[in-house]
A = this chain, B = another copy of it.
Amino acid sequence: MNNQITVIAFDADDTLWVNEPYFRETEEKFAVMLEDFMPHHSIVAELLKTEITNLPLYGYGIKGFMLSMIETVLRITEGNVDPAVIGKAIALGQEMLNKPIELLDGVEEVLKALHGKYRLVVATKGDLLDQQRKLTKSGLDHYFHHIEIMSDKQERDYQKLIKHLDCKPDEFLMIGNSLKSDVLPVLAIGGHAVHVPYHTTWVHEHIDHTIEHPNFHQGQCLSDILKLVE
C-alpha cells in the first residue's frame, strides 16, 4: 500500500464496536409487539420503509429510528392501538441508547500499533451525542486525534472531512464495514479504503457489485490493516 498515508479514519459502528445487531434485536422485539396486526416480516418491511422515507429529514441515528418506530406503530395499527405500545417503542430506543459498548476483535491492538505513527480519526454517521458517548464509553478516545460525526458519507462529505483534516486525498485511508459508505465515496475522491466486513449490515448499506480499484484493499478482520500499512 501507498506509504504516503498520514491519516487513518475508522468507521465506528460495526468497525470498532457492535451496533447493527442491536438494531436487528430491537426490530425483532418491535415486530413481536405488533404481530397481532401484521405478519412479522411485513412489520420489519414497514419499519424499513418509514426509516428510508425519514432519512433525509432525520438523518442517521437512534433518535430518528425511535421516531420511525412510533410512526410505523401508528400506520400499521391504523391508530387502533393501546398508547402503551408507543411507550414500549420509546423504551426500546432508550435501551439502545444505554447499551454498553462491545469492542470488536483486535480493535485495541490495532489502535495501539498505529497510534503515534498516523493521525487516527473516527469518521461516523449517527446522532452526535450518542456517538460521542459511545466513544467515551469505549475507552478508546485517547487514541484519536479527532472524532467527526458526519450527517452522511457521500463524496462531498469526505471532501469536507479531508479539507478539514488538512490532508491530501492520497494521504487519507478510510477503514470500515460498509462498501457503500466507507469505501466507494473515498475511492471516488482519490483516497484509499480498506473494507473490513461485518456479519450484519443494514440492507440500506448493501451494494450488489464487486470493487476493483488500485486504492482498494479487502481485509478479513481489522488486524489485517497492520499488514497493509506497515
Q: Which residue of B lies closest to A93 (CB)?
A: B67
23 contacts between A and B (CB under 8 A): A57-B94, A57-B97, A58-B97, A59-B127, A59-B128, A63-B67, A63-B127, A66-B67, A67-B93, A70-B70, A71-B90, A74-B83, A74-B87, A77-B83, A79-B83, A79-B87, A80-B83, A83-B83, A83-B86, A128-B128, A128-B149, A128-B151, A129-B151
Write the nearest CB–CB distance from A159 to chain B, whole angstroms: 14
Interface size in chain A (residues, C-beta < 8 A):
34
| A77→B151 CA distance, assembly (Å) | 35
| Interface assignment of A146: CB less than 8 Å from any CB of chain B | yes
| Interface assignment of A82: CB less than 8 Å from any CB of chain B | yes
Q: Which residue of B lies closest to A75 (CB)?
A: B87
| Interface assignment of A164: CB less than 8 Å from any CB of chain B | yes
| Interface assignment of A211: CB less than 8 Å from any CB of chain B | no
Identify the interface centre among A57, A59, A128, A130: most chain B CB within 10 Å of its CB.
A128
* Binary per-residue interface labels of chain A (80-108) against chain B in the complex, 1 for a CB within 8 Å, 0 otherwise: 11111011001001100110000000000
A86 engages B59 (CB within 8 Å): no
| A57→B127 CA distance, assembly (Å) | 11
Residue from the list B57, B63, B74 in contact with A58, Cβ < 8 A: B63
| Interface assignment of A132: CB less than 8 Å from any CB of chain B | yes
Write the nearest CB–CB distance from A107 to chain B, whole angstroms: 23
> Which residues between 36 and 79 of chain A lie within 8 Å of chain B, taking CB atoms?
57-59, 63-64, 66-67, 70-71, 73-74, 77, 79
